[in-house]
Amino acid sequence: MRLYLKFLSIHFRSAMTYRASFFLSCLGQVLITTNVFLSVVFLMERFDSIGGYTLPQLSLCYAVILAGTSLAECFARGLDAFGRILSQAQFDRLMLRPRPLLFQVLCQDMKPAMFARVLQAAVMLMWAIGSGAVAWTPQKALVLTLMILCGAGVFFGVFLINACVTFFTLEHIEALNIFMDGPREYGKYPFGIYGKPVLLILTFLVPLALVQHWPLQFLFGRGPGWYGLLPLAALLFLIPCGLLWRVGVRHYRSTGS
């Protein structure tokens, strides 16, 4: 952990050597997601509500997804850029160091500019809380925390799968963006809005609905309390992801490509 923090500080300082581009890239990241949220604002201006959700509730919904993706993108950047790590033979170098490989990949690259989005998510969350999107209780606060952390966990799993596929294909597969960029874009509404098939896929296949749609039902007083514990179940997704990683490393060991 201490080592991880050291790496974090190195990446921060590297980013700071090019201060102007660091702030511009922060600005760029925030503008993109602000636009996504503005689309919600404009549609709510016209339609007032959708599926019974109000604008503050949707703000809360998007803040959760935004915080989750940004945390994952900041800390699992090494997995996102894994094609580069492989093609520049950095992975060979990591294998020459006496530490777990996945840990080292995570240390290899981080994206501090993503913190700008975490900040943005915090602002949206505070606004939502202030506008009375939810009748707050300690349990609900806990569920919200779980949603963000487990959300980051599920996104981490998605990034991990992306990296594992890269072991075999050696190049980034654009189709995987569906699960990497897609949720950040479409997580602005609870996934139930998109209809049953989408909700089923995101519940059982890539369990993003377990950190967003279902626990939101509990927060908004539309579902039973156990929905609030579903974010923990979403973490089961990490088991197959972890196994796939092992398969990938084995494959790399035997082909060396």
Partner 1 sequence: MIEMKGISKTYRVRRREAGLGNAFKSLFSRDYTEIPALRDMTFTVPDGQILGYIGPNGAGKSTTIKILSGILRPDSGVCRVDGLVPWENRKEHVARLGVVFGQRSQLWWDVPVRESFDLLRDIYRVPEPTYRENLDRLTALLELGDLLKTPARMLSLGQRMRCEIAAALLHGPKVLFLDEPTIGLDAVSKLKVREFILEQNRLCGTTVLLTTHDMQDIDALCSRVLLIGKGQLLLDGDTAQIRAMAGEDLSTEEAVADLYRRFGI
Partner 2 sequence: MRQYWSFFKMRLMAGLQYRSAALAGMSTQFVWGGMEILLYRAFWLEHPERFPMGMEALSSYIWLQQAFLTLFALWNWEHDILESVKTGAVSYELLRPTDIYSMWMARSVANRLARAALRMVPVLVVSSLLPSPWGLRLPASPAAFGVFLLSAVLMVLVVCAYSLLVYALTFYLTDPNGLMVLSVACADLLGGAIVPLPFLPDGLRQFAQLTPFGSMQNVPLRLFTEDIPLSQAPAVMGLQVFWIVTLITAGYLLTQKGLRRAVILGG
The binding site for partner 1 (CB under 8 A) comprises 2-3, 6-7, 10, 13-14, 17, 88-89, 92-93, 95-99, 253-257
- Residue 222 or 246 having the CB closest to partner 1: 246
The only residue of 1, 2, 5, 46 in contact with partner 2, by rule CB under 8 A: 46
24-30, long-range: CB < 8 A, 24+ apart: 25/113, 26/113, 26/115, 26/116, 27/116, 29/113, 29/114, 29/116, 29/117, 30/116, 30/117, 30/120
| Region of 179 on the Ramachandran plot (φ > 0 left; ψ -120 to 50 alpha; else beta) | alpha
- Residue 27 or 95 having the CB closest to partner 2: 27
- Residue 101 or 217 having the CB closest to partner 2: 217
Q: Please report how close the Cβ of residue 253 comes to partner 1 at its closest, in angstroms.
A: 5
CB of 172 closer than 8 Å to CB of 180: no
Question: Which of partner 2, partner 1, none lies near 47, with the C-beta cut-off 5 to 8 A by kind?
Answer: partner 2
- Residue 137 or 255 having the CB closest to partner 1: 255
Residue with tokens 């514990």: 229
- Residue list 135-174, contact with partner 2 (CB under 8 A): 173-174
Which of these, 173, 227, 4, 239, lies nearest to 100 by C-alpha position? 4
Is residue 205 at the binding interface for partner 2, with CB under 8 A as the rule? no
- Residue list 16-35, contact with partner 2 (CB under 8 A): 20-21, 24-25, 27-28, 31-32, 34-35
- Residue 91 or 218 having the CB closest to partner 1: 91
Is residue 200 at the binding interface for partner 2, with CB under 8 A as the rule? no
The residues near 81 (Cβ < 8 Å, ≥ 6 apart) are 109
Q: How far is CA 124 from the centre of its chain?
A: 17
CB of 187 closer than 8 Å to CB of 208: yes
The residues near 18 (Cβ < 8 Å, ≥ 6 apart) are none
Question: Which of partner 1, partner 2, none lies near 8, with the C-beta cut-off 5 to 8 A by kind?
Answer: none
- Residue 8 or 176 having the CB closest to partner 2: 176
Q: Please report how close the Cβ of residue 173 comes to partner 2 at its closest, in angstroms.
A: 6
Rounded to whole angstroms, the Cα distance separating 75 from 69 reads 10
What pairs with residue 53 in β-bridges?
Answer: 50
Question: Which of partner 2, partner 1, none lies near 50, with the C-beta cut-off 5 to 8 A by kind?
Answer: partner 2
CB of 248 closer than 8 Å to CB of 164: yes
DSSP letter assigned to residue 16 = H
Kindly state the number of chain residues that form the binding site for partner 2, as judged by CB under 8 A: 33
Using CB under 8 A as the criterion, which residues of the chain lie in contact with partner 2 when the complex forms? 20-21, 24-25, 27-28, 31-32, 34-36, 38-39, 42-43, 45-47, 50-51, 173-175, 177-178, 182, 185-186, 189, 193-195, 198
